[in-house]
Amino acid sequence: MQASADEALILDAWQANAQAWEQAVREGRIESRKLVTDQAIVDAVLAHTPRTVIDVGCGEGWLARALAAAGVKVIGVDVVPALIESASSKSGGDFRVLSYEDMATGALAERADVVVCNFSLLGRESVDGLLAAMPELLEPNGTLIIQTLHPLLAAEPYVDGWREGSWVGCGTGFSQAAPWYFRTLGSWVSALERAGLSLRCIKEPIHPHTGRPASVIFMAGSNQGNGDEQASRRSISRHRT
């Protein structure tokens, strides 16, 4: 099946390029991150004054470290063991090797005030499955925050579909690029709704040099609201039984 083959290629590419990615982030090679999107996601998360955060697809852990430095208790998860090792060695925080498929089947037993996905929702079925599990990962009144490529910047046509990836702008040392699944703005909103989440806010951080959006940030909450007693009994520091 084509879609599953693409999902597998995403995982292969991140396994193969973990070291190059770590270097690109460490050296601040990606201009839009340095100028706009890093601060935008830190601000978006901290604006919710979370006590606890789950950083999904955390990579080498820069965001988890920034949030921990602000006093937030963070769990970082990623499918690539080398990235999780790197994240753990830099901060000794709570980092775990888990795929979105694992999380969709309840492998992460904690909840958090904010679940953040910074440029880490790349696939189709893997992302839909993860989103469906989100009400189980958010505390009552918790917030899911997703930063992703702004649909304005993606190649035409403006319809959902798999696109070829590229490492342009990330520097050297990369091998095969991962495909990624493009979603229109409307399709992102539908995906959130299908997962039992309500969109609360969209932000479009602007690139100071181009005047165009550098990304889009979605903030959504669980439709369960605060009537979910089961949820209120669990927290990031307690495991489900």
Ligand X SMILES: C[S@@+](CC[C@H](N)C(=O)[O-])C[C@H]1O[C@@H](n2cnc3c(N)ncnc32)[C@H](O)[C@@H]1O
Comparison of 40 and 63: residue with beta carbon closer to ligand X:
63
Token pair for 76 = 């970082």
The smaller minimum CB distance to ligand X, of residues 52 and 99, is found at: 99
Instruction: Tell which one of 57, 129, 142, 205 touches ligand X (CB under 6 A).
Output: 57
Residue number with CB closer to ligand X (10 or 131): 10
Give 22-26's long-range contacts (Cβ < 8 A, gap of 24+).
22/59, 22/60, 22/82, 22/83, 22/86, 23/171, 23/173, 24/170, 24/171, 24/173, 25/59, 25/60, 25/62, 26/60
CB 3 within 8 A of CB 126: no
**E-only strand ranges, the chain:** 52-56, 73-78, 94-97, 112-118, 138-148, 161-163, 180-182, 197-203, 216-222
Binding of ligand X by 25 (CB under 6 A): yes
Which positions from 73 through 132 interact with ligand X, judged by CB under 6 A? 78-80, 83, 99-100, 118-120, 122, 126
Stretch that binds ligand X, among 57-65, 155-163, 181-189, 213-221 (CB under 6 A): 57-65
Q: How far apart are CA 241 and CA 239, in angstroms?
A: 6
Cα dihedral 141, 147, 148, 153 in deg (nearest 10): 120
The number of CA neighbours under 13 Å toward the Cβ of 109 is 6
User: x/- contact string, 175-214, with ligand X (CB under 6 A)?
Assistant: ----------------------------------------
Q: What's the closest the beta carbon of residue 103 comes to ligand X, in angstroms?
A: 8
Q: What would the two tokens of residue 123 be?
A: 């696939």
Residue 36: phi, psi to the nearest 5?
A: -135, -60
If the CB atoms of residues 57 and 135 are measured against ligand X, the closer one turns out to be 57
Q: How far is the CB of 123 from ligand X (least distance, A)?
A: 6
Nearer to ligand X, 70 or 224 (CB): 70
The CB-of-130 to ligand X minimum distance in angstroms stands at 8
Structure tokens at 61: 């852990």
Stretch that binds ligand X, among 59-67, 106-114, 131-139, 198-206 (CB under 6 A): 59-67
Query: Measured between alpha carbons, how far is 140 from 120 in angstroms, rounded to an integer?
Result: 24
**Toward ligand X, which CB reaches closer, 101 or 193?**
101
Q: Least distance from C-beta 231 to ligand X, angstroms?
A: 23
Chain residues that interact with ligand X, rule: CB under 6 A = 10, 14, 25, 57-59, 62-63, 78-80, 83, 99-100, 118-120, 122, 126
